[in-house]
Amino acid sequence: MSEVFIGRQPILDREMHVFAYELQFHLGLNPNKQTIKATIELIKKTEEEIGFQAIVGDHSAMLHLPKELIKKEILPELNPDNHLVLEIPNNVTRDVDVLRSLKELKADGSMIALDDFVDDESSLKLAGISDFVKIDVDNYTEVKLKKMLEDLHAKGVKVIAEKVETEEKFQYLKKLGFDYFQGYFFTNPIIINGQKLSGNKLTLLQLLAKVNDPNTDFDELSAIISHDVALSHKLLVAINNPAARIPIRVESVADALKYMGLKRLKFWVNMLMLSSMNDVPQELLTTSLMRAKFCELLAENSGYSSDKDSFFLVGLFSNLSAFFKIKIEELVAEMPLADDLVDALVDKTGPMGEAINILISMERLNDTLSALQYDGLGIGQLSNNFMAANAWAQQVIAE
């Protein structure tokens, strides 16, 4: 029997703000009583150990469950301010039990998203009770997509484009009139060959390089941060947040170093520098933090625990090209990174490069997910680490 597991993808609006996170429950090709039971147990375990609210933060949760599990007593609970969106297949028009459950759940405040709309009689009937409709845009011509959008919008239904993996595709579908976009297109920006970094971005990259140079010591890091007034202010505000759990009020960068340590301070500085880039969506930072934590957890749970700091850094920097809109090989050329980190970031080779490959497969929800393995870890453990990393990233952003 295939191991059951959960996948997750962001759904962004036209301004690249997160609208919801879809949580997909994978049961293999032929769900049966055993896999249904295992999925119920997985929902309970995830709720107890991580929490679905923690995974989605303050966003809506779109649940892609088998129709047998669309029942109030099984679904995870979210805060009242967070919408629960139930994703339904397009073949339930004659399933009386499912339709009854949907009616009850919608009366309680849940919303409905119709998956894989195909513009047939069944889909059109279900669209009439749905708040959202999802379309696999690769299956239709531009003319057909425009007609479907026109008809669905006339019904008051919002339309989600699936499998949007590049910024170019996002811009095209946005122009067509789609309301929401599912996928990791924001990590794949349009890169113009030969484009040079602006002065501000070049300065930021040089600062990132210096902060993450293994030879940069306490005194050097303190001097680097102190010379950037805006960065110093942001850092002190962040450190004095109660969530940072520093026992005294920190008044200087030198004190911050004393109470936080070099590793923790470098993390905060990296995050604050990346968050200062105002021409990228915040979800890019959230994704980079998630990737960093996932890679760290992967190292801790496998045979690479002694290298977990390097795994964390590789995960954090794996999206650098999306922040700077420059090829990753050009970016790492400006940074004093060890050869194995460069190989992982540029060529996706070595243990850390394979960790990035695992991540990308999980983000894209590839068809071969159930067969994924990393140093003896199967998809169940990988998925659990992925969800835990997502919850951690949401917490860091919130704090």
Residues 6+ apart with CB under 8 A from 36: 27, 66, 68, 69
> For residue range 20-64, what is the model confidence (pLDDT) as tens digits?
999 998 876 667 788 889 999 999 999 999 999 999 999 999 999
CA atoms of 264 and 249, how far apart (whole Å): 17
Q: CA dihedral defined by 361, 367, 368, 372, rounded to 10 degrees?
A: 40
Per-residue confidence (pLDDT) for residue 222, from 0 to 100: 80
> For residue range 59-105, what is the model confidence (pLDDT) as tens digits?
999 999 888 888 888 888 888 777 899 999 888 888 888 889 999 99
CA atoms of 70 and 65, how far apart (whole Å): 7
User: Would residue 73 be called left, alpha or beta, if left means φ above 0 and alpha means ψ between -120 and 50 degrees?
Assistant: alpha
Question: Which range is least confidently modeled, 38-47, 233-242, 300-309?
Answer: 233-242
Q: Are 4 and 38 in contact (CB under 8 A)?
A: yes
CATH superfamily of 199-398: Hypothetical protein af1432 (1.10.3210.10)
- Structure tokens, 233: 């202010």
- Structure tokens, 166: 């590049």
Average pLDDT over residues 182-193: 87
Average pLDDT over residues 117-129: 89
Question: Which of 18-32, 76-90, 231-245, 369-383 ranks highest by mean pLDDT?
Answer: 369-383
Nearest to 38 by CA among 83, 84, 2: 2
- Structure tokens, 148: 């479907």
Cα 62–chain centre separation: 14
Per-residue confidence (pLDDT) for residue 1, from 0 to 100: 37
Average pLDDT over residues 140-163: 95
For residue 354, pLDDT over 80 is answered with: yes
Question: Which range is least confidently modeled, 88-92, 245-249, 277-281, 388-392?
Answer: 245-249
Average pLDDT over residues 347-358: 96
Per-residue confidence (pLDDT) for residue 136, from 0 to 100: 94
Q: Are 157 and 131 in contact (CB under 8 A)?
A: yes
SS3 track for 314-353: HHHHCCHHHHHCCCHHHHHCCCCCCHHHHHHHHHCCHHHH
- H-helix or E-strand spanning residue 124: helix 121-127
DSSP SS3 for 194? coil
Nearest to 319 by CA among 350, 351, 302, 295: 295
Nearest to 261 by CA among 248, 276, 272, 246: 246
CA atoms of 243 and 321, how far apart (whole Å): 30
For residue 197, pLDDT over 50 is answered with: yes
Residue corresponding to tokens 């920006």: 189
Share of the chain above pLDDT 70, in %: 97
Cα angle: 342, vertex 280, 339; to 5 degrees: 5
Residue, of 254 and 121, whose pLDDT is higher? 121
> For residue range 252-263, what is the model confidence (pLDDT) as tens digits?
877 777 777 777
Residues in the chain: 399
Per-residue confidence (pLDDT) for residue 199, from 0 to 100: 67
Nearest to 389 by CA among 268, 295, 294, 267: 294
Considering the chain, what is the average pLDDT of its residues? 88
Q: Are 137 and 146 in contact (CB under 8 A)?
A: no
Global pTM?
A: 0.90
Which part of the chain is CATH 3.20.20.450? 5-187
Which part of the chain is CATH 1.10.3210.10? 199-398
CATH C-level class of 5-187: alpha beta
